[in-house]
Amino acid sequence: MSRRFRRLPLALLPLVLVAALSGCGSDDGSSSDSGSQALDAVSISGDFGSEPTVDWKGKMTADTIENTTITEGDGATVEDGDTVTTNIWIGNGFTQKKAFSTYDAKQPQDLTIDDQKVSPVFVDAIKGATIGSRIAVTAPADKAFGASGNTQLGIGNKDSVLIIIDLMSEPTPPLDAPKGASKPSPAWAPKLVQKDGAVTSLDFSKAPEPDGKLHSAALIQGTGAVVKKGQTITVNYLGQVYGGKKPFDESYSKGDPVSFGIGSGQVIPGWDKTLVGAKIGSRMILAIPPADGYGKAGQPSAGIKGTDTLYFVVDILGAS
């Protein structure tokens, strides 16, 4: 989803993680399940699937990348090209402080095991492991994240890093399109303009003026699971202000759906309030007043005034 729909500062969390994962780390000198000596500097406790407790005994020194399986799962083996849902904890071995955790935002991350998309330090740790495993990675920052370290995480290139990865599950592949029974369009909704099955714009010629209330309805009632607060959902969407002649943003023409956390403040309130509780496979139509959108300030970069009501069509294709 376009960053203009995200709210700060929580909006930065996925961007920080992506920046960390897209570093140019190297696997030179790495080893696997070797019983890392660097781990002698910490004590790691806590149950798989919950945020680990890390007690530092002193500064961590790491000369190479080392992977250690703390808990071995009994699920499927992760192979090249697989996508796996993970929780990730990152600590700075020099400052002995947590730098990042997906547990803070209750936002697991789906990673595709492909070193063109994900830093090799993560690929090497995850590939060949089994779902249900907790893996610890110790590494010098320059080998984990590249020559500059990772300034967004507060990790210098001379620091050491501790990365703890919980392999949660293999996510269900998202749908290609909405799936379910068609429902009548509500009286407040504009008409959808479509081409080759994709929504291209909204037609307000017969739609009543906004009433200042938040509205949502399913145009296609999905048959999948209910979307829950804190999940990551995958959607196609289009947004247009009331009376607008064209969308201010959309994903249909870009070829790939987008994923983001829902119910956790990462998107405008109107999305959090209406998409939690909807079913996977649904096509939702939303009318969002300024109070549940961008407020009185609007979003000038998108051409949205503080008085504009936003209308969205959202295809919910998956959730993890």
The 10s digit of each residue's pLDDT in 51-72 is: 999 999 999 999 999 999 999 9
Q: Are 217 and 271 members of one domain?
A: yes
- 3: pLDDT strictly greater than 90: no
Which of 138, 169, 200 corresponds to the end of one domain? Answer: 169
Q: Specify the pLDDT at position 231.
A: 84
The pLDDT of 210-233, averaged and rounded, is 93
Q: Specify the pLDDT at position 5.
A: 46
- 218: pLDDT strictly greater than 80: yes
- 94-103, 148-157, 261-270 — which one is most confidently predicted on average? 94-103
- Residue labelled with tokens 């910490």: 42
Q: Specify the pLDDT at position 32.
A: 57
> Are 242 and 309 within 8 A, CB to CB?
yes
Q: Specify the pLDDT at position 115.
A: 73
Q: pLDDT confidence of 33, banded at 50, 70, 90? A: low
Mean pLDDT for the chain? 87
- Based on the structure, what is the number of domains in the chain? 2
Q: pLDDT confidence of 134, banded at 50, 70, 90? A: very high
DSSP assignment of 254-309, as one string?
GSS-EEEE-SSSSB-HHHHHHHTTPBTT-EEEEEE-GGGTTGGG-BGGGTB-TTPP
- 116: pLDDT strictly greater than 80: no
Q: Are 223 and 189 members of one domain?
A: yes
Q: Which domain holds residue 305?
A: 180-319
Q: Are 99 and 223 members of one domain?
A: no
- Domain with residue 39: its CATH number is 3.10.50.40
The pLDDT of 224-253, averaged and rounded, is 92
Q: Strand ranges (DSSP E) for 96-197?
A: 97-101, 109-112, 134-140, 160-169, 180-182, 191-195
CA angle 29-30-35, nearest 5°? 125
Residue 218, domain member (yes or no): yes
Determine how many CB atoms are found less than 10 A away from the CB of residue 227. 22
Task: Give the span between the Cα atoms of 103 and 2, in whole angstroms.
Answer: 23
CA angle 44-49-50, nearest 5°? 60
Residue 209, domain member (yes or no): yes
- 99: pLDDT strictly greater than 80: yes
Q: Specify the pLDDT at position 197.
A: 82
- 304: pLDDT strictly greater than 90: yes
- 25: pLDDT strictly greater than 60: no
Q: pLDDT confidence of 17, banded at 50, 70, 90? A: very low
User: pLDDT, tens digit, for every residue of 161-173?
Assistant: 999 999 998 767 8
> Are 119 and 149 within 8 A, CB to CB?
no
Residue 287, domain member (yes or no): yes
Q: pLDDT confidence of 13, banded at 50, 70, 90? A: very low
Token output for 294? 């961008």
Q: pLDDT confidence of 82, banded at 50, 70, 90? A: confident
Helix, strand and coil in the chain, % to nearest 5:
15, 35, 50
The pLDDT of 208-235, averaged and rounded, is 94
Proportion of the chain above pLDDT 90, given as a percent: 65
Q: Specify the pLDDT at position 30.
A: 53
SS3 110: strand
Q: Are 198 and 311 members of one domain?
A: yes
Residue 222: what residue type? G
DSSP assignment of 40-52, as one string?
GGEEEES-TTSPP
SS3 77: strand
Non-local (6+) Cβ contacts of 245 within 8 A are 201
Residue 174, domain member (yes or no): no
